Structure 1
Amino acid sequence: MIKNAIWPSSIRDINELEDDQKQAIYAHLIPEWVFADYGIDPETHTRNGHRVIHFHCPKGSRAMEISIQRDATEQDPMLYLNMADTFQNQLLVLLVVVNDMDSERYNIDVDQAGNLTQLGTESRNIPAELAAMRAGLAPGQIRVGMRAFKQSVPIFETFVSNMGHDLFLIEPLAYHNAIVFERYGFNYIRGLQDMRRIHTEFQPGGNLYQQLDDENPFRQVRYAKSIRGRSWAIHDGILGYPYTGFQMYKRIGINAGVNTFPDAIW
């Protein structure tokens, strides 16, 4: 643990503070470019007179959410962050989304019957997924991202340091997320051997490689060599079970040097 923490040591304890106090703490998680590039007032959290930064951090809760809109009229957040305490009093990043709001939207989050898909984990909108995949998106993306996670890692590190922790946890929701987190210095609590096995099985002659089929747009043979391609094949069920149960961690100031997909292309 890092000594002399300047904030409470848990999300739950921060959530017990008065609204202005906890929002002032959570505002440290907002990247500076949000204010500089989009004209959002850092004091009032408004743009053009309308509030566009929203905090959900009720007293008694172990979780917090920040949702930032580029404009109050837009459907999707430009940036969304969800963090929580674990029962072991560690900090867990549950979800980070950064959307390029000028890019096309693909409705992979709603199936053709109008039901929420939970980003394709409960049900799927195949036409929307095909369009997203062909546009270069990865599973779970409704819009092109802004490639901002790398710049967010130091922000998370400073935040958890100020809470007196020396690491934080994150759960990759898809295969490509895990590979990206590896590149930013994360290691595995659960899933390292599974990731290595997946890589082995995507090699020529491996079980996953043999299931690739150019007749299936989500399982093209060439996908064996790419991060995004493997992720779409896994999203399509090539493993035979859902991609769940993986958990990673980042120690403050330390790059773990893990690489389960050498020589990967995106």
Structure 2
Amino acid sequence: MTTDDRWPSSIREINNLPEDQKRNIYRFLLPDWLFTEYHVDYDTLTIDGQPVVYFRCPQGSRAMEISVRRCVTSPDAMLYLNMADTFNNQLLVLLVVINDLESARFNIDVDEHGNSTHLGTTGRNLIAEEAAMKAGLAPGQIRRGLRYFKHAVPLFEKFITRMGHDLFLIEPLAYHNAILFEKYGFNYMRGYREMVRINEEFQPGGELHQKLSADKIFRQPDAYKTVRGRSWAIHDGILGHPFTGFQMYKRVGLHAGINTFPDAIW
């Protein structure tokens, strides 16, 4: 890669560029399937002449957001990405959401009073969560995903390489996210030992296994057998504390080979 091919090394530096320049850089993060399968116009970022791709990257900010919708009035994003600089000049993916907008919606993001639950992290809608769980969704999902994350990883790698970095960070919001990130080659900056402990304690006779019960909707006796089952039990508080403090990283071109749930069934 030549110097001319390289972009600024931080989100903040990119955000301080003229509007057209920074948008052209962030366009690189838009996956091909938006254009080939959902017919977003590559040049105008519109569908049927209506803008559907939105960038939030104000000057002076260390963060950026991209939101892609099927139409102007769509309440949910088909793709949402939030990235930021860390204080030691690394790149952190804060959130990636890829929704199948054709699938059923479960209102786990608002409680019974209409207040935001921040995808179940600050509050809960138990009725919606139970319905989502029975429909095969994991904690934090309002709709079924499109299963495109595996294609997003090499895209992130190419993006950060252009910025002069050789790794990026990500923070799993739930247990199933961490297991998925392991599958795609991520390692742990923080939390590996806890993930190993969780797997051990979910084994028959373990502390977490003993807390499973047929009379608890989100902690059914067979929940320990699957990634989703464990994730719902953890979301329900079986650890005794929230699933927080985990940070993972992906080094460009390398698969870390981490597997804290051997022979996992989703």
TM-score by length of 2: 0.98
Aligned to 1:160: 160
Q: Does the aligned pair in 2 maintain the 1:185–1:258 contact within 8 Å?
A: yes
Distance across 2 between alignment mates of 1:51 and 1:3: 34
3-state DSSP class of the match of 2:218? helix
CA-to-aligned-CA distance 1:96-144 (integer Å, 9 cap, x gap): 0000000000000000011100111111100000000000000000000
Distance across 2 between alignment mates of 1:18 and 1:221: 56
Q: Does the aligned pair in 2 maintain the 1:101–1:143 contact within 8 Å?
A: yes
- The RMSD of aligned alpha carbons is 1.0
Distance across 2 between alignment mates of 1:172 and 1:123: 18
Aligned to 1:36: 36
Aligned to 2:17: 17
Q: Do structure 1's residue 192 and structure 2's residue 205 form an aligned pair? A: no
State how 1:120-159 maps to structure 2 within 5 Å.
120-159=120-159
> C-alpha displacement at 1:48, in angstroms?
1.0
Instruction: Name structure 1 gaps, 5 residues minimum.
Output: none
Aligned to 2:66: 66
CA-to-aligned-CA distance 1:29-69 (integer Å, 9 cap, x gap): 01011011111111111111110000000000000000000
Distance across 1 between alignment mates of 2:2 and 2:22: 21
Task: Give 1:19's aligned amino acid.
Answer: E
3-state DSSP class of the match of 2:159? helix
State how 1:94-109 maps to structure 2 within 5 Å.
94-109=94-109
Aligned to 1:217: 217
Task: Give 2:56's aligned amino acid.
Answer: H
Q: Do structure 1's residue 247 and structure 2's residue 247 form an aligned pair? A: yes
Aligned to 2:116: 116
Distance across 1 between alignment mates of 2:2 and 2:256: 23
Distance across 1 between alignment mates of 2:135 and 2:233: 16
CA-to-aligned-CA distance 1:189-223 (integer Å, 9 cap, x gap): 00000000000000011100000001111001111
> C-alpha displacement at 1:172, in angstroms?
0.2
Distance across 2 between alignment mates of 1:120 and 1:38: 29
Distance across 1 between alignment mates of 2:72 and 2:166: 36
3-state DSSP class of the match of 2:222? helix
3-state DSSP class of the match of 1:84? strand
Instruction: Name structure 2 gaps, 5 residues minimum.
Output: none
Distance across 1 between alignment mates of 2:72 and 2:43: 17
Task: Give 2:23's aligned amino acid.
Answer: Q
Distance across 1 between alignment mates of 2:203 and 2:69: 42
Q: Do structure 1's residue 263 and structure 2's residue 228 form an aligned pair? A: no
Distance across 2 between alignment mates of 1:164 and 1:31: 21
Residue identity over aligned pairs, in percent, reads 65
State how 1:56-95 maps to structure 2 within 5 Å.
56-95=56-95
Moved over 3 A (4+): 2-5
Task: Count residues with an aligned counterpart.
Answer: 265
Task: Give 2:163's aligned amino acid.
Answer: M
TM-score by length of 1: 0.98
> C-alpha displacement at 1:224, in angstroms?
0.5
Distance across 1 between alignment mates of 2:118 and 2:152: 24
Q: Does the aligned pair in 2 maintain the 1:3–1:164 contact within 8 Å?
A: no
> C-alpha displacement at 1:3, in angstroms?
7.7
3-state DSSP class of the match of 2:197? helix
Q: Which 10-residue stretch deviates more, 57-66 or 39-48?
A: 39-48
Distance across 2 between alignment mates of 1:200 and 1:15: 44
CA-to-aligned-CA distance 1:60-84 (integer Å, 9 cap, x gap): 0000000000122210000000000
CA-to-aligned-CA distance 1:121-179 (integer Å, 9 cap, x gap): 11110000000000000000000000000011000000000000000000000000000
